[in-house]
Amino acid sequence: MSARALAAGIASGSARAAAAIGLAALIGLDAAPARAFVPKPDRALAAIAQANLSSGRTQAIQLDLVMRIGEQASLATGQLVSHPSGLARLELRGSGGRVDRYLLSGPELLAAKDGEALANPQPMLQPIFLLQPSSQETLRVALESFGVDSRFIGVAPCGELDCYVFGDPALAAPAIHRLPSDASAADPGAGADAAHGLDAAAAGELDPADERARNAVIGRRGTLEIEPTIEPGRPIARLWVDTETLQIQRIDRDSGESLQLGPIVRFERLMVPAWLEIERPGEPTIHFDVKRAVRVNATPQAFNPSWLYSPIDPADPTSAGGSPPALASPAPSPVPTR
């Protein structure tokens, strides 16, 4: 099944949810139960992984970039290599000959400027590899490594789009856990007792502190999963995914940074965002335009920390650190897909 077909199947639930919300508003009822139409996290993760596969991103990829900060003109060119295992490296070359290198291994970020280690590197290299896992399980593990709790999924606007949002309990639909359907068959009196408990509670005959009364009501109606409390104002790690295309739109970090991804463009069979933007609290936005994208054969040695401090060849950025990843043939100009 294609990613678009999967998206259509999942999105049908969102359409029903929207209809339910409208109906609830019309008749003056609380619309919160409509959030239950949000797809199950595992199903959504599997569909997103399929979209990654269909986009040709499930092996190592290289992006050639042009960087600017805020409203300034272009400051540097860059080359980013990202591996679906969670490894990534970025080399930035400024007009004055300065070379900055960044290495990401899971959530750990290392950096060097002109071969000298940086103690507090800027968040130039974000987890682009979240666009690359090809299975539900590898995507789930990748999200967990960056603090995104994929058990929580909701729907929220993201710009002009609607997005599935993973990791935010405040946006997540509550999970309802019901007793097995044969519970009353196993105990013929259970259903009657539960019904009596509901009727008595409605009549005000039960003490709200009575644990047995609460259990009777829970047994009849099911229980709501308790959402963990989040400290107000604290950043939350979240993943935002377009409900229509299942392409990742935004990655929020619990450290406060946010990675925004542009519309998808095509370089031959490889589909990647047209641009990347890193937003930091109180700081100018870091913007990268993607000028070229290819799939590459990148070995683990290409992401060894020694690469940060290896000699720099001013004429050939791909030669830094010994043998570079093998590059595919140049791709034609990108064509927007939407």
Residue 103 lies in a domain: no
Q: What is the distance of C-alpha 121 from the center of its chain?
A: 23
Residue 314 lies in a domain: no
Do residues 81 and 129 share a domain? yes
Confidence of residue 75 (pLDDT cuts 50, 70, 90): confident
Do residues 148 and 214 share a domain? no
Do residues 204 and 142 share a domain? no
Q: Which of 6-15, 93-102, 258-267 has the lowest mean pLDDT?
A: 6-15
Above 80 in pLDDT, residue 275? yes
Do residues 146 and 252 share a domain? yes
Do residues 238 and 215 share a domain? no
Above 60 in pLDDT, residue 24? no
What integer is the mean pLDDT of 327-338?
44
The upper half-sphere exposure of residue 250, i.e. CA atoms within 13 Å in the direction of its Cβ, equals 23
pLDDT per residue as tens digits for the range 155-206: 999 999 999 999 999 998 765 444 444 444 444 444 444 333 333 333 333 3
Angle between the N-to-C axes of helices 3-27 and 41-54, in degrees from 0 to 180, rounded to the nearest 10: 140
Above 50 in pLDDT, residue 85? yes
Residue 3 lies in a domain: yes
Range of the domain at 240: 1-93+123-174+233-303
- Kindly report the pTM of this predicted structure: 0.71
Residue 87 lies in a domain: yes
Do residues 134 and 6 share a domain? yes
Residue 4 lies in a domain: yes
d(CA 17, CA 309): 53
pLDDT value at residue 1:
52
pLDDT value at residue 301:
87
pLDDT value at residue 8:
55
Helix, strand, coil percent values for the chain (each to nearest 5): 30, 30, 40
What integer is the mean pLDDT of 299-328?
67
Where does 243-331 show beta strands of DSSP type E? 248-252, 258-261, 264-267, 270-273, 275-280, 283-297, 326-327
pLDDT cut 90: percent of the chain above it: 56
Residue 332 lies in a domain: no
Average pLDDT, the chain: 76
Do residues 214 and 245 share a domain? no
Do residues 156 and 280 share a domain? yes
Domain count, the chain: 2
pLDDT value at residue 106:
81
Do residues 82 and 205 share a domain? no
pLDDT value at residue 28:
37
CATH of the domain at 33: 2.50.20
pLDDT value at residue 72:
84
Do residues 192 and 285 share a domain? no
Do residues 190 and 285 share a domain? no
Do residues 194 and 49 share a domain? no
Confidence of residue 224 (pLDDT cuts 50, 70, 90): very low
Confidence of residue 9 (pLDDT cuts 50, 70, 90): low
DSSP-H helix ranges across 55-128: none
Confidence of residue 5 (pLDDT cuts 50, 70, 90): low
Residue 316 lies in a domain: no
pLDDT value at residue 15:
46
Whether residue 153 contacts residue 198, with contact meaning beta carbons closer than 8 Å, is answered with no
